[in-house]
Structure 1
Amino acid sequence: MGKLSERLRPNQLIGAIVALTLLAACTSNPKPQSDTPPPDESVYTIAQGPDLSAVWGTQGCDGTPGERYQKGCFGKILPWPGGTYVWNSNTGNKKIIPINTVLLPNGKVFTFGAGDDTFRFYPTEADIVNGGKISADLWDPLTGEHKPIDNTTTELFCSGQSALPDGRILIAGGHEGRLYTSSGPYLGSKDINLFDYQSNGWLSFPGRMAAFRWYPSSLALPSGEVLIIGGIDARASSNTPDPQLNNVEPLDIIEIWKVEGNTPSRRLLLNAPKRAYAHSQYPWLFIASNGKVFVAGQENRLVYLNTAGDGAWEDLVDGGMPRETPPSGYSTFVRNSGTATLYAPDKILVAGGSPGDGVTDYPVASALTIDLNLPGTPIVQSISPMNFPRRHHNATILPDGTVWVNGGTKGPGVNNQELENRVYDSELWNPDTRQWKLTAKAQKFRSYHSTSLLLPDGRVMTGGGGRCDGCAPQDDNADVEIYWPPYLFNPDGTLAQRPDITRYPTRVRYNQRFSVRVKGGVSKVTWLRLGSVTHSVNFDQRINALEFTSAGGDSYYVRTPANPNLAPPGFYMLFVVDGSGVPSTGRIIQIMP
């Protein structure tokens, strides 16, 4: 018999090749592409988690064994160091107050507060000098070591910050002083600063924002860019318009920054001015699984922002989305200085806040959830209220998926510090039962300008408070307390035996199956983005429950989120939780764009 190509005409040959190809495809029966994760090209590391008993003596806490097991406990007061460029309060100290708090990829905590120029004032706009100085601090939660570092280009007081995919921190805006008198209106900053955790160095971009922003929000996007929105400034009505602004007020401009190496670029969402769509001061922003930015407050208007191209708003209120019923006597409901957090993909918890800033506007204990993941119109549901009304409090997602709330004031107005209005009790919200449980009492009043940050070892750092107009000097809290959650304790009050991730990758990609080795049981695998907090807002906080299967013995396969809408590129803490609800130490892993 001759060769097949010799026995068939050209058109017959083509048909035969196609048929053979189809036959091979049918008989090989490959898995669908969507079910095939990318190859595991990760670099693995082997390590043993820190033993918290080693820091119990210096950072541990009191309380009866039963109290520790049921409510957890707050550790000893840990003082923060002094700095070269720190606002000198009425007490005469030069201590750094952790008003802005960020967890870095090396496990250290980066904090800064108010700088030298916080209350500098200028008689006229012509006298304004851009720039300032501030001292920041790097703290190791395990060793307790501090390293103060200075920024000599910008006063970063009340700025917004988010992490880039490479772990550097982009800080938007800040403060340039006050206008007309020492008690006059505040001046924002146009500066963008970058902090590099590997070199402990600062980079101030020559390009500046479209507006002077004090109290802006920032958000890490699935694209690896950072969204910057809002803020206030005494010169808002007289800002010199950017040529690209198309006569839109500068503070209405929403901008997106991208950083490649040390080169920044900026684009403006000119078709989506902020205006009434987002609160001026630290609006609550979340990435939804559809890739859009959901604005959950602080105002009672719930909208999507599409950041593609020149931007577009999608008003869900007009689309039938239910809103909260305002308290009696109010036409609208604004949860000023409340808090909100993305406790699961497309699911948001909103708690507390005040319907206004007046002396008769009392904070509320009410809470609600917003579910963007259901078919049709997103659902807003009231849930059981907190045990206390709160304003200026913080919400922190824990490795087991619960949400811990601490601090705040229950008095009316802005920053009410009356003794009878101080809330020392903390509480825990369970998303499965949708109920609140009282937890331990803090030793210090943490309200306005306080922060709360999940640490890799499963504890929570709470710190700051003070440094404001009307703040009592004794409440300028240049210190922190560590909260030890109840999952860290046995019924007898001793530290629980924790599962330990002993082998894990340092970098992964989306929809990738990777392996881990775990000493101890595994009932849940979660990962949480490294936190970045100020003014009751954690810009980067989010959690994913990851799929996992046993690989035999002490090994498990874990699947990363499918796409960056579910987990924007950057650094996350990987936790395993055992059958008793005890979490491991979080292993910090980078997911690549």
Structure 2
Amino acid sequence: MNAPAVLGFANAQYHDYVINRPEYKAEYGHWQTFVLPAEFRVNAIHASLLRTGKVLIIAGSGNDQRSFDAGSFKSVLWDPARNTYKLVPTPADMFCGGHTALPDGRLLVAGGTQRYEALDGAVKKAAGTMRVRNENPDAARTFPKGTVFTAPNGREYVSTAEVTVPAAVKTGGGDRTVVKASEQHVFVEAVAQGTGYVDNSPAQYAIKGLSGAEARNLYGMADRMTLEKQDFQGIRAAFEFNPDTELYERVTDMAYARWYPTLTGLGDGRVVTVSGLDDTGQILSGNDNEIYDPADKNWSKAPDRYFPTYPSIFLTASGKLFYSGSNAGYGPADKGREPGLWDLKDNSFQQVPGLRDPALTETSSSVLLPPAQAQKVMVLGGGGVGESPLSTARTDIADLSAAKPVFAPGPDLPAGGTRYLNSVILPDDTVFTTGGSSDYRGKHKSDLLKAQVYHPDTNTFTTAAEPTVGRDYHSEALLLPDGRVVVLGSNPLFADKADTEPGTFEQRIEIYTPPYLFHGERPQLTDAPAAARLGTTVTVKSPRPDGVVTAKLVRPSSVTHATDVEQRSVALDVGARSDGGVALTLPGNPNLLPPGWYMLFVTDGSGTPSVARWIKVTP
């Protein structure tokens, strides 16, 4: 009876009517869009869920040169449960750094931005990499930012960062003493503008202010000084964010500066850190990987292996690391793109063949499919290297439990070729995917207002409600403890189809409520232990223990650039049910269930999850 009146509405009104019907929500879910108060709006580059249930949104300078020049670096702590916000003092530009949760619930944040890129034609001062050498075996030497290096022709170049050069290495003795100079690099630029400072010949540079033996032992070497394009440059700084004090705490710097690195937690609680652009704008060569130990907050060398920037590297049940081939941003098309299993013990690398469209893995999404025990990793979408307009609808799945893993085809993405897709594991053992664009950074107004759910059990996608906000570069999505999904960010190049109007950073936040939360009463967890050891059995409380069908521990997300290597859902064995209690047994393998804080969900027979309880998993 209402149909004639409904059909008389404008299209937008009718659409709003349809998507808000209970039947529609129960099948496709529902989106809500909201805007933070002005003082808390930031360019969301990174988002991490903390054990307090709050979301740390890191902007740093937010891909805004003016904010960088002003030293304005921002982080916001958002409490989705109470919808409250708090600005967090941000001590360095963490824009495009890396991050991961530590076993005690702190968040390790490493790397960020030392300098913004300067494109061809925009470079006014000749610049280049200065290799600072030390031939003195008795002492290291630190040179502050602003140190002047003088060329043989008298031209002067100034360092853009502090640099410490270790003491030279002395071997042998007596007549057979050999001293090998140590070396550390730093970026320098001319003291003035103009082509007169361009020098394409290798040369040795004197360090201003040194004389005598110091001047002979300490000097710079540079291959050339140019006005060519300069890439972003990374920083060495590392911090732990403390969820109790809600402050960043400085820890030991990395040995190498990093911009666009990946941090992956290991089964022993340490973190391996790979790739990134260094403090001269060059991609790290692979002999500079590092491991962070939260016990002493120091870094040590990791095995050598080259990867393009922001590589998707997952910890597997064997303890090996799986590189899916997904990456973001920087690195040659013909190096470090092959997926494979990396063994840190002997530095071996077993290639995993079969990935289709192997040239279209940049800006793709990768996810360790639920449950983690299946040891399957899915690669979704992606595009060509750099500013390529190409994208793919391909999804492929690698079964890492096989003796010789290979990729097998999955279903194509329903929206077609997609870059920057965000993928989120849900507590019903499905994967929610949303957003992205078909072209580089949403060019030609190519954002895809589509979302879908992947079902590992049937290897199929089903349609989800459509978002209303486009999301491409610099967007992220993560699961909340109440079972909803929050989606943030987006940094399109242009705002119109003709690519004539500059784009603006998307600061609206969306929350997606999956269909399972519209299926009636959800199961409850009224009590659970605050901590549990690997391999042990714990008892949780529920008013209807017989209704608890599955239980899983979901690791909180820490996501940026469509890269989230930490999220995983680990199934627990559901055992005896007593009056108000359910016995749950944890796996004993720390490589399957790395130590740290997890969201404990239980679900009923229809897949409806409880609100999560936080539990700390210990060795």
TM-score bracket relative to the smaller structure: 0.7 to 0.9
Helix, strand or coil for the counterpart of 1:82? helix
Which whole-Å CA distance do the structure 1 matches of 2:348 and 2:110 have between them?
23
Preserved CA contact (<8 Å) 2:44 2:62: no
Q: 1:340 and 2:371 equivalent? A: no
Structure-2 residue corresponding to 1:105: 51
Q: Deviations over 1:215-243 (max 9, x none)?
A: 11001111111111011246155x9xxxx
1:519 and 2:543 aligned:
yes
Distance 1:524 1:116 in 2: 41
Distance 1:417 1:196 in 2: 39
Aligned to 1:510: 534
Secondary structure, aligned partner of 1:368: strand
Name the count of aligned residue pairs.
Answer: 475
Residue of structure 2 in register with 1:91 after alignment? none
Structure-2 separation of matches of 1:335 and 1:116: 25
Q: Map 1:488-507 to 2 at 5 A.
A: 488-490=517-519, 496-507=520-531
Asked if the contact 2:356/2:396 (under 8 Å) is kept, the reply is no
**How many Å separate the matches in 1 of 2:447 and 2:267?**
39
1:200-349 matches, within 5 Å, as 200-205=246-251, 207-233=252-278, 235-236=280-281, 252-260=287-295, 263-269=296-302, 272-275=303-306, 278=307, 280-298=308-326, 300-308=337-345, 312-314=347-349, 316-317=350-351, 321-326=352-357, 332-343=358-369, 344-345=372-373, 346-349=375-378
Q: 2:491 aligns with which of 455, 459, 466?
A: 466
CA contact (8 A) 2:255 2:299 kept: no
1:469 to partner: Cα distance: 9.1
Whole-angstrom distance in 2 between the partners of 1:555 and 1:324: 45
Q: Give the letter for the 2:602 counterpart.
A: V
1:481 aligns with 2:527: no
What is the CA distance between 1:136 and its match in structure 2?
Answer: 0.7
Per-residue deviation, 1:296: 1.0
Q: CA RMSD in A?
A: 2.5
Q: Does the 8 A contact of 1:517 with 1:555 survive in 2?
A: yes
1:428 aligns with 2:453: yes
TM-score (norm 1): 0.76
Unaligned runs of 5+ in 2: 1-17, 124-228, 327-335
Q: Distance in 1 between matches of 2:66 and 2:115?
A: 5
Measure the CA separation in 1 of the matches of 2:288 and 2:66: 27
Counterpart Cα distance in 1 of 2:580 and 2:87? 41
Q: Which residue of 1 aligns with 2:433?
A: 405
Secondary structure of the corresponding residue to residue 27 of structure 2: helix
| Partner residue in 2 for 1:353 | 382
Given that 2:234 and 2:258 are in contact with CA atoms closer than 8 Å, whether structure 1 keeps it comes out as yes
Kindly state the Cα deviation for residue 357 of structure 1 after the two structures are TM-superposed.
3.1
- Cα distance change of structure 1 residues 72 and 590 upon mapping to structure 2, 3 Å threshold: same
Matched, 1:542 2:568: yes
SS at structure 2 position matched to 1:68: helix
Any stretches of 5+ residues in structure 1 without a counterpart? 1-60, 84-94, 123-128, 240-248, 327-331, 491-495
Alignment correspondent of 2:407: 380
Question: Is the CA contact (8 Å cut-off) linking 1:210 and 1:250 kept in structure 2?
Answer: no
Offset at residue 132 of structure 1 (A): 5.2
Distance 1:74 1:313 in 2: 45
TM-score when scaled to structure 2?
0.73
Contact 2:101 2:596 in 1 (8 A): yes
- 1:563 CA displacement: 1.9
Give the Cα separation in 1 of the matches to 2:491 and 2:101: 25
Structure 1 contact 118–176 (Cα < 8 Å) conserved: no
What residue in structure 2 maps to residue 75 of structure 1? 32
Q: Is structure 2 residue 519 aligned with structure 1 residue 581? A: no
Q: Is the 8 A contact 2:234 2:281 kept in 1?
A: no
Cα pair 1:118 1:177 within 8 Å, conserved:
no
1:545-571 alpha-carbon deviations (Å, 9 max, x no partner): 110113323311000121211111101
Larger mean Cα displacement after TM superposition, 568-577 or 131-140 = 131-140
The 2-side partners of 1:336 and 1:75 are apart by 30
Say which of 142, 145, 148 aligns to 2:81: 142
Please name the residue that 1:175 is paired with. Answer: 113
Q: For 1:64, which of 6, 18, 21 is the aligned residue?
A: 21
Do the aligned partners of 1:80 and 1:478 also contact (CA within 8 Å) in 2? no
Q: Counterparts of 1:258 and 1:417 in 2: how far apart (Å)?
A: 42
* 1:454 maps onto 2:400 in alignment: no
For 1:336, give the aligned amino acid: E
8 A Cα contact 2:575 2:584, kept in partner:
yes
1:117–1:132 contact (8 Å) kept in structure 2: no
Amino acid at match of 1:402: T
Give 2:395's aligned amino acid: A
When residues 121 and 176 of structure 1 are mapped into structure 2, their CA distance, relative to the original with a 3 A threshold, is: farther
